[in-house]
Amino acid sequence: VSPAIVDDGFVIWRGEERNKDILSDIYTSEGLCYSFNIIDPKELQVDPETYRSVPSTSHTKSKRWSLEEGYLNEDRADDFPRRTFLSGISGGLIIDVYANSSHMDHVCSDANEGFQVNIHHPTESPNMDASFRLPFDQIVSVAIKPKMITVSEDLKHYNPEYRKCYFSNERKLTYFNSYSQENCLDECLTNYTIQKCGCIPFYMPRSRSFPICGPASLICIEISQSNFLLNDANNTMINCNCLPSCTSLQYEVEISQSDWAWRESFAVLKNLMGDKYSEAFSNIEKSRLSRLIVYFKEMQFLALERHELYGKTEFFSNTGGLLGLFIGFSITSAIEILYFLTLRIICNIKRFGRGLWSGQGGIG
């Protein structure tokens, strides 16, 4: 079911009540969804007119932020993508989402009730296949621990095939301005689907010339996606060459949930507020409400850096060390052997003649 945000004041960011316009509408494989902190389509896609966002939705442009370089200003709290300086619930995001039970279609949703939530970084589109569920009448708390992997500057001169990753400026995508493995696979799936079905689902990145699939193409879309992920995955990924990003950001989450007796609380508020209450208050019997709490678990996290395991310096130093350890041999010994076999013999022949090539002999 497509969620509705319960009036102003039910979105809290860093301990302050915010207008629900802080969220952006976006189309996904599950339909119309809300997104928090995703960057403007003009920065995300090459042709923003074909992006999956709702045309009437306003987006905020990033303030010279990139995944590899980070924020331009280290201490500003009003930068975008939005960031927090606190761990725990007080520095996180709280959203109350509402649904009317009469609007739910149990056939389309396979009788799964609730909302779907996906955690992703701002330059990627949400992948609803990797989402978790926010059940009705529940409070779900999500503690996030970032997992960031970077690459040292020493690896930039390596070929991406040996490095096994792409920097953001090394690989250009057709539909996305910034490279990530997820964006590359989205683009690859788009090209695969247009070849198999002759059309593109409304939520996929696309060219303006691609027709949008109708209900009659749903079976073809499902089959093509299954073949892409299962049977043809290896060949397709090789052709698309969707290597990981050299700088990647993922989120490890710890999820806990509990029952939410919101009807009892709202009944008290209804008596206190009189007629000044929202739709969720007015029809409690058909209302389904859920609360999502997202926050960082810790103030800091450790980033991993990939670097050369054996460079030229390490190779020669380790080789010399092993030779010296096991056979008493070193680079100096090799130079001495070369000297006595070549330069020393040549000098002796020039000084004493061929008969005394090993040096001046005799008894004085």
Question: Whose CA is closest to 115, among 205, 30, 214?
Answer: 30
Checking if the pLDDT of 37 tops 80, the result is: yes
Checking if the pLDDT of 50 tops 80, the result is: no
Q: What pLDDT sits at residue 360?
A: 62
Distance CA 343, CA 83 (A): 68
Q: What pLDDT sits at residue 9?
A: 44
Answer positive or negative: Cα dihedral of 292, 296, 297, 303: positive
What tens digit of pLDDT does each residue of 178-217 get? 888 888 888 888 888 998 999 999 888 888 888 999 989 9
Greatest mean pLDDT range, 120-129, 250-259, 302-311? 250-259
The token pair that represents 272 in the structure block: 């206190």
The token pair that represents 78 in the structure block: 């009003």
Q: Give me the residue spans of the domains in the chain.
A: 4-156+250-306, 320-356
Of 1-5, 30-34, 152-156, 250-254, minimum mean pLDDT range: 1-5
Checking if the pLDDT of 4 tops 60, the result is: no
Q: Report the percentage of the chain scoring pLDDT > 90.
A: 12
Q: Where are the alpha helices (DSSP H) in 22-134?
A: 41-44
Distance CA 305, CA 307 (A): 6
In the chain the first and final C-alpha atoms are separated, in Å, by 109
What tens digit of pLDDT does each residue of 111-160 get? 677 888 999 888 888 888 888 999 988 999 999 999 888 888 778 888 88
| Mean pLDDT to the nearest integer, 282-308 | 83
Checking if the pLDDT of 236 tops 50, the result is: no
pLDDT band at 281 (very low <50, low <70, confident <90, very high): low
Checking if the pLDDT of 284 tops 80, the result is: no
Task: Locate the DSSP E strands across the chain.
Answer: 4-5, 11-13, 16-18, 24-28, 31-35, 93-100, 115-117, 132-134, 138-151, 248-259, 287-296, 304-306
The per-residue pLDDT of the chain, averaged, comes to 78
Distance CA 360, CA 342 (A): 17
Q: Which CATH superfamily is domain 4-156+250-306 in?
A: Acid-sensing ion channels like domains (2.60.470.10)
Q: What pLDDT sits at residue 363?
A: 40
| Mean pLDDT to the nearest integer, 34-61 | 68
Q: Report the percentage of the chain scoring pLDDT > 70.
A: 76
What tens digit of pLDDT does each residue of 328-362 get? 666 677 788 888 888 878 887 887 777 776 666 54
pLDDT band at 257 (very low <50, low <70, confident <90, very high): very high
Checking if the pLDDT of 8 tops 50, the result is: no
What is the secondary structure of 95-110 as a DSSP string?
A: EEEEEEGGG--TTTTT
What tens digit of pLDDT does each residue of 209-233 get? 889 999 899 899 989 888 887 765 4
